[in-house]
Structure 1
């Protein structure tokens, strides 16, 4: 792990890790009603301040995967039982579940369970959100018009592996059981295969409509 980008906060029973590369400062950690995280304190995270069950719960609130933990009794984070995508008003796509993001670095354990993916096309840390949507004035209120093909009635659950592949200069290809929620919180779409816009230009957000070709979207710097 990079000492500059990943900060460790050791505790007697559980260690917490904060990944600066992924943090988009939503504040779920510092707003928690306990003293695990305190912004003006040094260090700002003290795992021994609260029971380790609370440490795990607060870390798992982080929608970007920037927070992760190592429980010293071997208890590992488990994926949510349902793969869910939450479209954020004028912002990213939050995914939770059993996530398999192709090419995600091994030292980003949190994104196996929780991630914020760029929808505006401007992130300097693609496919992850870095809050560039605020800088470029990205606007999408998060409505979803399609309902999707639905999930296979034979599936025992709405979870399981969800494969996410960022197509070079193209969309996010998603395969596996997925439930998408509109920004309003409404369950809007269900299916097992789709392509999601990450260039910011689709007229059918959050889905790709091939606008990336029209605008010459580049997923990596020239």
Structure 2
């Protein structure tokens, strides 16, 4: 078995890549209807089993960026019309949009559109989620109280700065969704907690300094 983090499944019209460093096994691919992903089959992903359009649609369901595609006619995955951050119930921050993740390796193409970022403070793969929130029994329902200053426009680049031993600083047009799915906060600048200790989640309140949070 290959020890490389990325496995490429080649098709005639489109290739699919799976990055083990980002996958937290949510099952959006495996539960999708059709023959693109079939557990126990070798290989488990077969891009030629469905249409190019279906490959794109199913791969774009992956919320962590672990799955990405390379369309051989040169069509890249489009940036969503809006940048969004879902504060998952007892889980990570799911970002979608035109993302610029500071420090993300060049060989992680999926995180330019979709990524799951740790907010429990326990991930061993920071800033990415690795499901450690389950192990440490992180509890936060994803409620968002603030409405934010609002937005005058949508979309565009969203820069995500990973502050050493501190929060995630987001710059760009952004809508934050509560764990219930409710669009809650809108604005162009915010700092989100990633130590797991803020009393004002999902926003940073400086608790990382009191906690002595280490991001490495």
Q: TM-score interval w.r.t. the shorter chain?
A: over 0.9
SS in structure 2 opposite 1:214? helix
Once the two structures are superposed, the pairs formed by residues 58-69 of structure 1 within 5 Å of their partners are 58-69=58-69
Measure the CA separation in 2 of the matches of 1:87 and 1:22.
Answer: 18
- The residue that corresponds to 1:201 in the other structure is 197
User: What's the C-alpha RMSD, in Å, of the aligned pairs?
Assistant: 0.9
Shift of 1:3: 5.7
SS in structure 2 opposite 1:212? helix
Q: How many aligned residue pairs are there?
A: 215
The Cα offsets for residues 52-107 of structure 1, whole Å up to 9 and x where unpaired, read as 10001111000000000111111110111000000100000100000000110000
Shift of 1:144: 0.4
Shift of 1:40: 1.1
Once the two structures are superposed, the pairs formed by residues 6-155 of structure 1 within 5 Å of their partners are 6-151=6-151, 153=152, 155=153
Q: Displaced runs of 4+ in structure 1, greater than 2 A?
A: none
Shift of 1:39: 1.2
Unaligned runs of 5+ in 1: none
Measure the CA separation in 1 of the matches of 2:138 and 2:4.
Answer: 30
TM-score by structure 2 length? 0.98
Measure the CA separation in 2 of the matches of 1:169 and 1:47.
Answer: 41
- The residue that corresponds to 2:209 in the other structure is 213
Unaligned runs of 5+ in 2: none
Measure the CA separation in 1 of the matches of 2:183 and 2:11.
Answer: 39
